[in-house]
Amino acid sequence: MITAILLTLATLSLLCSCLSHFKSSINTNSHCHFISTSKLQGGLFCVNFEGVIFIKISEMGVNSNRVEDLPYHETTIRIPTEAMPPLEIHSVCLPPKQTTLQKLKHRLGEIFFPDNPLHRFKNQTWFTKLLLGLQFFFPIFQWGPEYNVKLLKSDIISGLTIASLAIPQGISYAKLASLPPIVGLYSSFVPPLIYSVLGSSRHLAVGPVSIASLVMGSMLSEAVSSTEEPILYLKLAFTATCFAGLFQASLGLLRLGFIIDFLSKATLIGFMAGASVIVILQQLKGLLGIVHFTTKMQFLSVMSSIFNHRGEWSWQTIVMGFIFLVFLFTTRHISKTKPKLFWVAAAAPLTSVIISTVLVFFLSSKNPHISVIGHLPKGLNPPSSNMLYFNGPFLALAIKTGIITGILSLTEGVAVGRTFAALKNYQVDGNKEMMAIGLMNICGSCSSCYVTTGSFSRSAVNYNAGAKTVVSNIIMAAAVLVTLLFLMPLFYYTPNVILAAIIITAVSGLIDYQAAYRLWKVDKLDFLACMCSFFGVLFISVPLGLAIAVGVSIFKILLHVTRPNTMVLGNIPRTQTFQSLNRYREALRIPSFLILAIEAPIYFANTTYLQERILRWVREEEERIKASNESTLKCIILDMTAVTAIDTSGTDMMFELRKMLDKRSLQLVLANPVGTVMEKLQQSKTLESFGLNGVYLTVGEAVADISSAWKAQP
């Protein structure tokens, strides 16, 4: 008790001394913004940028040496002061001066060489540079010297596993592209060998894929019939593959991979779902045993063709197709629920082909109603460079088909490679992948192959089978080679219904309704792009559906650029942090200030909108102040933290906005502009109109300095 009385008397004495010294009134409504703290006779005092002392007196035991050891009672008293030193105001500096050539070099480097691929060549001998160059262009020189028998065992197992999946899928996907089945096997032999030398992914399994096959088949079939003009159709397919490879390799060589980023994830989800539905409907021809079927890829055309040819339905084909569909879906479900049994789904397609072929062989004399593949030629890939079509009325079609299929296959290949690289914690070079995929398609077009890339299903099997390097692709190609040389006659009695069942099972996994639901929950514009892509592919055509989806994605980008987000900021009490008033309920407005944040670069496309929106914020703030009878609005602070760039239209807008607000006796201040923005404002002379007190490092410093300037005025 005596201790408490003594402390109370000491406290009252200290307070009286402070009050007489500073001659200020007590302000109980101000908020403490902590800048610095110091110990004061067993207590603490802190100073805010408004010049207010906050004293905290702690009640402790007499013999205590440590404040934190004993309980204490804390009292906070606010004492305004003018004698304390003001908050330090930092000057905003311009970036270091650079010549135009230096700026251009830096900008091009950021665009085309963000990973700085040549950094390994610095300060190296010529021999080391030669070795690094070989490793850079041919990754096989990087992992080849360290290859051993243990790695080979793993790659042999995984290579044979994916070969059991690649052989039936190659035949099936070639049929999907309206190409001879043997072309699918050719495409599973040469491209994997080329990728194994040039590719940087250890787990990517190369070969034909469903989406590229579907797009190529649908686009070429619109102009040329694969049954009436098979040679011309084959020429256009090889030519489209060549142009796809040239496009892909040029993207990698010129480091223009960001172009494929215009195919957003939302667009691809809708596109693949729509294309999968079309593929499944197209396979009803083989599943029902229909002989005459439409070549169009629209939903209505396919459905009308199915019901108009009901007389061609074969119950024997339907029964066999249904049985093997159940078998394939069951094995896939087992592999999904029990990842260790991945080989069940991997071996199911080849098992289905073998069993169905044997059944049809023994029943062919009794049941001729099940159609079969027929004769397939034996031997290696014949050259097809003489079949490339570079002159004629269908050249534009081949180029267009090549570019579209090239973009789709490149997107899938790079995405699949990066997915499995992330699981094993290694890096896949996107530009190297583009060049590798492009070169293997160029070489493939000259060796009777059509568009190939990394397949997600085969890569997943390759990964789960324990593949260590791209040697698994070499093993797979060797297995396909043995098939081409010796086993082709065995596929004579393979029923087409099995190929249809394999395709349906494979592409049904591309319908990701859960991803579409997530898009709806997260971003409605992304969901709109997804649905436009889905229904465009389903009811119009595959290429037009894709074009519509890309258009919606670009519209979304333009919408974000032309209508950037702006918000009003407030101060979070007891901090110097300023955040959105709508987002943080505890954030408070600063009297006489309107603090706005712009969350986008300022370009010609959004300057008019930003000017109108800022003036609207000012008008609404003045109306709110008038209604609530608060302090008059004097200053507008623009938080430029998120403004990463500005052009000449933006600097002109800033100058005009400053003049318009000056006429209304309102001060415009910029807070935390980035270096490039400061440089543009300074070069355009706009910065001169803001004066010395027009640009601050932070919003807190701007509020503190401007508030103190107002208090200093008479």
| Mean pLDDT, residues 51-74 | 37
Q: How far apart are CA 344 and CA 399, in angstroms?
A: 40
Q: For the sheet containing 566-571, what is the strand order?
A: 578-580, 566-571, 593-598, 635-639, 667-671, 695-696
Band the pLDDT of 82: cuts 50, 70, 90. Answer: very low
Average pLDDT of 215-227? 88
At 10, is the pLDDT very low, low, confident or very high (cuts 50, 70, 90)? Answer: low
Strands 453-454 and 206-207: antiparallel
Longest dimension (CA), the chain: 117
What is the reported pLDDT for 76?
35
What is the separation, in whole angstroms, between the first and last Cα of the chain?
Answer: 50
Burial class (CB in 10 A: 0-12, 13-18, 19+), 382: exposed
> pTM for the complete prediction?
0.70
Neighbours of 497 (CB within 10 A): 30
Mean pLDDT taken over the chain: 81
pLDDT band at 31 (very low <50, low <70, confident <90, very high): very low
The tokens of 404 are what? 């579209």
Contacts of residue 232, Cβ cutoff 8 Å, sequence gap at least 6: 224, 389, 394
Q: What is the mean pLDDT of residues 107-123?
A: 69
Task: Tabulate helix, strand, coil % of the chain (nearest 5).
Answer: 60, 10, 30
pLDDT exceeds cutoff 80 at 221: yes
Cβ atoms of 369 and 497 within 8 Å: the answer is no
- Give me the pLDDT at residue 69, please: 37
Quote the tokens at residue 81.
């002061």
pLDDT value, residue 156: 92
- Residue 261: pLDDT band by 50, 70, 90 thresholds? low
Strands 593-598 and 566-571: antiparallel
> Could you tell me the CA-to-CA distances from 81 to 46, 212, 390, 457 in Å, in that order?
12, 74, 85, 72
Residue 6 has a CB neighbour count (10 Å cut-off) of 11
109, pLDDT greater than 80: no
The per-residue pLDDT for 115 is 63
Rounded CA gap, 10 and 490, in Å? Answer: 105
E strands present in 445-512: 453-454
Q: Which pLDDT band holds residue 48 (cuts at 50, 70, 90)?
A: very low
pLDDT interval class at 367 (50, 70, 90): low
Mode of pairing for the β-strands spanning 52-58 and 43-47: antiparallel
Residue 72, pLDDT > 50, answer: no
pLDDT at 455: 85
Q: In the prediction, which pLDDT does 614 show? A: 95
